Amino acid sequence: MNFTGVNVVSNAIANSSNWAGPPATAGDPGVQLVVGGGIPANGFVQVAQINTVREDLLYGTYRALIKTTSVPGTCTAFFWVSHHNLSTAMRDRELIILQYFNDSQEIDFEALSYQFNFQNNTYPLNLVLQSQQSARQGFSSAASGDWKVADLPFDPTDGFHEYRIDFLPGNVIYLGDGQVLAVINTTAIPTSPGHLILSQWSNGDSGWSAGPPLQPAVSTVGYVKAYFNSSNPARQSDAAKRCKDPTAPGAVCSISDQLISPGSLFSEFFSNQPNMTNNQTIYGKSDGSPQIHNPFVLGHGWTAFFDVLGILFVIYVVETFQFH
């Protein structure tokens, strides 16, 4: 496979004030993850992937709005994966390339488009928890009890739908459009920090992705939201300084479930709302505090928001909630 930036295409809505409006170019609005069609002339299937730069994501709730391809022969994936040496990676960014994955701590949504049955409206979704046990068994998650297949209550190729991972100590909950699809509570639940990845790929493996697809396949991402506890000691110290009493009135605000209709693009975003807790800083909307102009250098901020590739695709980060 050849993961290339050419296959990650931003297709923003033309009018930023109208979330229901048409995109700038043809196809679905959002970030399009493209897999090339046909047998590749150079032997490498052209595929797409997006990774978060931050790798201090631990317990939290991670949500992505995705419209998957209907073309058979690809795997569309949204997953959290542990970075097994975060401190070294933060000292030397070059080592991220060498130490990017920890295949024994992974929480995955994987949609295999060849499994979709449009005749009987059956749309399986593979929910995978890679663990040290599954690594010892050659990543046979089914054998270790860390692989479940859920039938989606909707057609994932017909409009946008939210896929959500609630990652808690001792529990992983998978949800689709706010409905619980599966719960895994084995001893294999990850305990290290990690990062998020969205991808669409194919390598011709008949046991998984199948393909390559006969024609170009496009899966589109509308948004990613991440509300999580940071594993970075500096971030934890900042949060403790800002929130002196977590039990005080106004110290905690709830994280809403999905507030959109399935297939819709519009969503309630955290930073579009007024400050909901004391001492909270929202990127670009801080109340009485200096505005933060660089979303990647947040210092003492509680809530971070950054726009990655255009008006539609956004990632929201909230680090001060305590997930139990």
Q: State the pLDDT confidence band at 248, using cuts at 50, 70 and 90.
A: confident
CA pair distance 56, 61, nearest whole angstrom? 14
Q: What pLDDT is attached to residue 95?
A: 35
Domain extent for 293: 2-318
Q: What pLDDT is attached to residue 71?
A: 98
3-state secondary structure of 148: strand
Measured CA distances, 318 to 13, 85, 235, 268 (Å): 25, 23, 11, 15
Q: Please state the rounded mean pLDDT for residues 179-206.
A: 91
Q: CA angle, corner 259, sides to 254 and 262, nearest 5?
A: 145
Q: What pLDDT is attached to residue 283?
A: 47
Give the residues across from 64 on adjacent strands.
Answer: 163, 224
For the cut 60, the answer to whether the pLDDT of residue 321 exceeds it is no
Q: What pLDDT is attached to residue 272?
A: 64
Range with the poorest average pLDDT among 2-6, 108-112, 144-148, 202-206: 144-148
Q: What pLDDT is attached to residue 174?
A: 96
pLDDT tens track for 25-65: 888 989 999 999 998 888 899 999 999 988 889 999 999 99
Domain-located, residue 323: no
Domain-located, residue 79: yes
Q: State the pLDDT confidence band at 101, using cuts at 50, 70 and 90.
A: very low
Domain-located, residue 210: yes
Q: What pLDDT is attached to residue 14?
A: 80
**First vs last C-alpha separation in the chain:** 39
CA pair distance 320, 317, nearest whole angstrom? 10
Q: What pLDDT is attached to residue 304?
A: 31
The answer to whether 275 touches 252, Cβ cutoff 8 Å, is: no
pTM, rounded to two decimals? 0.80
Domain-located, residue 32: yes
For the cut 50, the answer to whether the pLDDT of residue 288 exceeds it is no
Domain-located, residue 14: yes
For the cut 60, the answer to whether the pLDDT of residue 15 exceeds it is yes
Domain-located, residue 324: no
Domain-located, residue 167: yes
Q: State the pLDDT confidence band at 86, using cuts at 50, 70 and 90.
A: very low
What CATH number has the domain bearing residue 314? 2.60.120.200
Question: Torsion angle, CA of 312/315/318/324, rounded to 10 degrees?
Answer: 110
Range with the poorest average pLDDT among 34-43, 98-107, 162-171, 306-315: 306-315
Domain-located, residue 314: yes
Range with the poorest average pLDDT among 65-74, 278-287, 306-315: 306-315
User: Number of folded domains in the chain?
Assistant: 1
Q: Choose between 267 and 209: higher pLDDT.
A: 209
Mean pLDDT, the chain, rounded, equals 75
